[in-house]
A and B are shown apart, each in its own frame.
Chain A
Amino acid sequence: MKNTIKNCFIVLLFYCFFTSSIALGQTPSSTASSSPTIAVDKDIQQLKDKIANKVSEIRKQNNKAVSGFVQSIDGNMMKLTNNGEVNQVKFDDTLTKVFKVLGTTKKEIKTDDIAKDDYVIVSGVVTDNIITANVVLIDENFLVDSGKITEINKESYNIKVLTSDKNTYSLDVETGTKQYMVNIKTLLREAIGFSKLKEGDTVHFVVKKTGKEKNNNYSAVKILIIPQEYFIK
């Protein structure tokens, strides 16, 4: 009996402690109530922030980026094709921004400046398989691949490359082509000339795709050679 009273007393003590701390915790808000407009403004701002965060979160979830060549533009709708995949894009007058990528910089342009066969990257929210564009970037389409050099034409500065998926590329090495070779000892990249290329070397390459190439022939933007000596050392 004595113990029960003791326990009840402890529980009561804890109860008093918690209720008093809650009451103390509420003191500032009761002070704030003296200036109700500030408190309401604060609440509204918090609510606004919460909604904005939620909207941004949902948008991020539904945000998608697609790319392709412009097949057609009709009013505020645009059709893109890329390796057989077709995407429909919708422009929003108040939302959509269009830029032309110029190397490392960009220039804002209008949707009317987008032309057929342009390569565009679209970022936006997908609804009913249509992407409402937030951003449209007009850029260049690059192809990045690698393979073995099977043939070198020293007169036309052309190399034939066989990739692992059995594709044969014909690459023109031009004056503007950046040519590098991996140093097999240091693994550092070193600038080289066309004469250093050998049949059997592995090459990693970057080319620009316009969609109008014939016979898999491209002008190489960049090549990186791994000499065959690396694989026999």
Chain B
Amino acid sequence: MKKETIIAIFLGLLFGGVVAVFISLKSKDIELSTNKVIAPSKEKILSPNLTGTEIQTLELSEPVNNAIFEKDIIRFKGTAAKNSLIIIQSPIKDLVVKNIQGKFNLEFPLALGENSIKIVVYPKEKQFKPQEKFIKVYYIDSEL
């Protein structure tokens, strides 16, 4: 085969490739522009209720982790989002309350020894993730 023929075939393939890529990209653009939008429109994404909304984070001022108590009843004090559902669970107690005020002050019983307690806050606005804390406190009877 002549040298010129090989060069002509090579250039032909190269040109064909470039044209194929161009057509493929162009057809994709056309397809996207003609198809219906499935995702919600921009206005809907930027919901007026949520723009700039920040949720009150769960803050527990009492009790502190690893605290030792001489009484079998303590109080959970702190702040969480208004109208959220608070669940405090330990092996001996499940406490379910609606946090009407931002602040909470809840009585909670302790078992003798170690108390593993989990507190979870489910915000009223369901799009926000639940917030949770885990603490261990100890009830050591002063008479022991």
Residues of A within 8 A of B (CB): 63-65, 67, 97, 99, 101, 104, 106, 121, 123, 134-135, 137, 139, 141-146, 164, 180, 182, 187-189, 204, 206, 221-222, 224, 226, 230-232
Contacts and interface: CB of A to CB of B under 8 A. Distances in A.
A134 B143 CA distance: 11
Contact of A142 (B66, B91, B129): B91
Interface string B85-100: 1010111001011100
B129 to A, nearest CB: 8
Contact of B140 (A123, A182, A188): A123
A182 B138 CA distance: 28
A224 B114 CA distance: 21
Contact of A189 (B96, B111, B113): B96
9 contacts: A64-B66, A65-B68, A144-B117, A144-B134, A189-B96, A204-B120, A224-B96, A231-B122, A231-B126
A99 B126 CA distance: 46
A104 B112 contact: yes
Contact of A65 (B87, B97, B140): B140
B122 A135 contact: no
A54 B130 CA distance: 44
B138 A123 contact: yes
B116 interface: yes
Contacts of A145: 118, 134
A121 B138 contact: yes
Contacts of B117: 144
Residue among B113, B134, B136 with the most chain A CB within 10 A? B113
Nearest to A146: B120
A146 B126 contact: no
A139 B144 contact: no
Contacts of B89: 144, 146, 204, 206, 224
Contacts of B134: 144-145
B116 A144 contact: yes
A141 B126 CA distance: 34
Given A142-B91, A144-B89, A187 B116 contact: no
Contact of B94 (A97, A135, A204): A204
B59 to A, nearest CB: 18
B74 to A, nearest CB: 14
A141 B115 CA distance: 9
Contacts of A142: 91, 114, 116
A221 B91 contact: yes
Contacts of A187: 85, 96-98
Given A135-B144, A144-B118, A101 B98 contact: no
Nearest to A142: B91
B91 A222 contact: yes
A130 B18 CA distance: 76
Interface string B103-144: 000000001111011101010001001101010101010001
Contact of B113 (A137, A188, A224, A226): A137
Given A65-B68, A101-B113, A121-B113, A144 B126 contact: no
Nearest to B111: A104
B132 A164 contact: yes
B123 to A, nearest CB: 10
Contacts of B97: 187
Contacts of A135: 140, 144
